[in-house]
């Protein structure tokens, strides 16, 4: 049996190790997949953030163009190119600027004007329609760039002349590009534009990450050139580098630094694991449940093994207990038959008394076993009645003294003068009798037994204390188990079945009480039985 139990333990351990290993393997691979998904998501969020910046950029162009074209310094005139064309009227647009004179004509059809006007959600003005059309007609945007750029140069001609006088060694076109247009007009860059661009991109990226439920810190890196991408690392993530040129009218190819923006995320494990939280918890619960089940199986097998051993011990003890009175009765009968004991009245009576006593022992033994079988099947009916406490205890003491084979000193105290309790007289008396009988069996002479009876709240406490050999600590919690007896090696000087305390616990609990024990080796044991005073 022990070998089979060891094999079972090894097989269960291997199964549990396999499950845990598989779960760890699955977790690692799931983390890699989710990490890759996280990297793809942040890169997609970066692309969307760039699109948001681009939209802001075009919106700013719209604002500037509409404002400049709506300026009273600029006059816009539309003429019909072909009067006969009544379906697709060809229109010529002339623009007169205060500084740069008349520019044009810009050619466009009436249908185009109507279409681009419909893209605007409100009733649009002519400058708004022309601005919207410029984003779809590159030539028109180039003409606005030329017109407004020259207008900006003419409006700051005095500043340029003054600068040329003090910097005559610098080419005039360089002065125009780097010193005039970057400070004024449509080509002017915002102050601290690189920092402003970083804040704008950061805000847009944060918004896009919130949409996909990624809440982790990141840093933006602006560089003037492409850098080599870093290798995959579990501790950080990064997006690709994207060209960023939305800090001025750079798309009109006149001026502006181009940067490469990249978002770098550190300590991404939290965000990745957060997305895996539900499967990870379920996986952990599965492992814990599996461990619990395996532990339950092992405990069940061990318990069954112990029950099997206890059963074998019980059969051995019962065989011994049954053989002794049978053998004694057989000897008595044989004496009556062979030694003419029938003619000797005294000898006959003595043999009959011996047989009667042994039959009584057999009857008690069989009754106890039947009682155990009955209470296991819940068939015992408790007949509760008022029991005089002093009469019950004194009766048990008198009985034990009559049949005792040891010198016993009984001390009984009814501390609170409890007169009676409501319980089953037969079974409750058997409980106290079992406890006192065990105290006598497992004590050396002289036996000192102290019985105390006292009230505690609404409970009556019976304390039975002896000066016996005591109970080992590792058996304290098992002595109330069926068939359990404290092992004494191969010495069987104390007879018993291992059923008495199991029966006692059942009877006490059936009457709403409790039973417990305190014990020290070579000092003695104290059994404490509690019964409710009002239990009827």
365: tokens are: 């033994």
Give CA 263 to chain center in angstroms.
33
- The highest-confidence range among 46-60, 174-188, 310-324, by mean pLDDT, is 46-60
Total-model pTM: 0.54
Specify whether the CB–CB gap between 193 and 248 falls below 8 A. Answer: yes
For residue 377, pLDDT beyond 70: no
Over residues 422-435, the pLDDT tens digits come to 888 888 888 888 88
For residue 100, pLDDT beyond 70: no
Which overall architecture, per CATH, does domain 301-378 show?
Orthogonal Bundle (1.10)
Residues 6 or more apart in contact with residue 150 via CB below 8 angstroms: 97, 99, 100
Over residues 289-302, the pLDDT tens digits come to 888 888 888 888 88
Percent helix, strand and coil across the chain, each to the nearest 5: 55, 20, 25
DSSP string, 480-522: TSTT----BTB---S---S-HHHHHHHHHHHTT-EEEEEEETT
Over residues 143-189, the pLDDT tens digits come to 887 788 777 777 777 776 776 677 666 665 555 555 555 566 777 77
Q: Which residue has the higher pLDDT, 126 or 475?
A: 126
Query: Residue 419 — φ and ψ, nearest 5°?
Result: -80, -50
Which overall architecture, per CATH, does domain 380-532 show?
2-Layer Sandwich (3.30)
Domain residue spans in the chain? Answer: 193-275, 301-378, 380-532
Other C-beta atoms within 10 Å of 83: how many?
8
In which band, very low, low, confident or very high, does the pLDDT at 497 lie, cut at 50, 70 and 90?
Answer: low
Token match 């009814």: residue? 414
Segment among 8-12, 357-361, 439-443, 451-455 with least mean pLDDT: 357-361
Token match 């009175």: residue? 325
Q: Which residues of 109-125 are buried (b: 16+ CB within 10 A; e: fewer)?
A: ebebbeebbeeeeeebe
Q: Is the peptide bond before 446 cis (omega within 30 degrees of 0)?
A: yes
């Amino acid at each position: 049996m022990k070998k089979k139990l060891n094999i079972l333990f090894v097989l269960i351990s291997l199964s549990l190790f396999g499950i845990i290993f598989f779960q760890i393997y699955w977790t690692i691979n799931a983390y890699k997949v989710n990490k890759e998904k996280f990297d793809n998501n942040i890169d997609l969020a970066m692309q969307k953030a760039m699109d948001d910046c681009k939209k802001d950029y075009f919106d700013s162009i719209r604002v500037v163009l509409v404002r400049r074209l709506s300026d009273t310094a600029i006059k816009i005139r539309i003429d019909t190119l072909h009067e006969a064309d009544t379906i697709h009227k060809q229109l010529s647009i002339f623009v007169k600027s205060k500084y740069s004179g008349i520019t044009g004509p810009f050619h466009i059809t009436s249908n185009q004007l109507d279409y681009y006007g419909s893209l605007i959600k409100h009733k649009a003005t002519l400058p708004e329609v022309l601005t919207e059309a410029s984003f779809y007609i590159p030539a028109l945007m180039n003409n606005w760039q030329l017109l407004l750029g020259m207008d900006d140069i003419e409006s700051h001609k005095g500043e340029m002349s003054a600068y040329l006088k003090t910097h005559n060694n610098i080419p005039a076109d360089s002065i125009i590009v780097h010193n005039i247009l970057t400070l004024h007009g449509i080509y002017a860059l915002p102050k601290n534009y690189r920092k402003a661009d970083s804040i704008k991109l950061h805000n847009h990226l944060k918004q896009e990450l919130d949409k996909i439920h990624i809440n982790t810190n990141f840093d933006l890196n602006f560089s003037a050139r492409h850098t080599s991408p870093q290798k995959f690392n579990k501790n950080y993530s990064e997006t690709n580098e994207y060209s960023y040129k939305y800090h001025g009218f750079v798309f009109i190819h006149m001026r502006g630094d181009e940067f490469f923006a990249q978002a770098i995320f550190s300590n991404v494990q939290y965000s990745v694991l957060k997305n895996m939280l539900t499967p990870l918890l379920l996986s952990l619960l599965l492992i814990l449940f599996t461990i619990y089940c395996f532990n339950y199986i092992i405990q069940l097998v061990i318990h069954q093994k112990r029950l099997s051993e206890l059963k074998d011990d019980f059969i051995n003890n019962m065989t011994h207990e049954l053989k002794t009175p049978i053998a004694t009765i057989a000897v008595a009968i044989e004496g009556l038959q062979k030694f003419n004991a029938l003619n000797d009245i005294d000898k006959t009576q003595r043999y009959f008394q011996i047989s009667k006593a042994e039959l009584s022992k057999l009857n008690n033994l069989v009754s106890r076993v039947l009682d155990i079988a009955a209470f296991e099947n819940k068939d015992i009916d408790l007949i509760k009645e008022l029991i005089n406490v002093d009469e019950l205890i004194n009766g048990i003491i008198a009985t034990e003294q009559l049949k005792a084979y040891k010198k016993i000193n009984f001390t009984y105290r009814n501390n609170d003068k409890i007169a009676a309790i409501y319980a089953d007289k037969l079974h409750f008396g058997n409980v106290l009798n079992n406890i006192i009988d065990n105290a006598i069996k497992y004590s050396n002479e002289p036996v000192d037994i102290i019985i105390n009876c006292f009230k505690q709240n609404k409970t009556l406490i019976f304390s039975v204390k002896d000066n016996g050999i005591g109970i080992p600590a590792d058996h304290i919690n098992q002595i109330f188990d069926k068939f359990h007896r404290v092992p004494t090696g191969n010495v069987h000087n104390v007879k018993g079945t291992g059923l008495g305390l199991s029966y006692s616990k059942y009877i006490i609990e059936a009457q709403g009480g409790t039973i417990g024990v305190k014990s020290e080796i070579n000092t003695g044991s104290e059994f404490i039985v509690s019964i409710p005073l009002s239990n009827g």
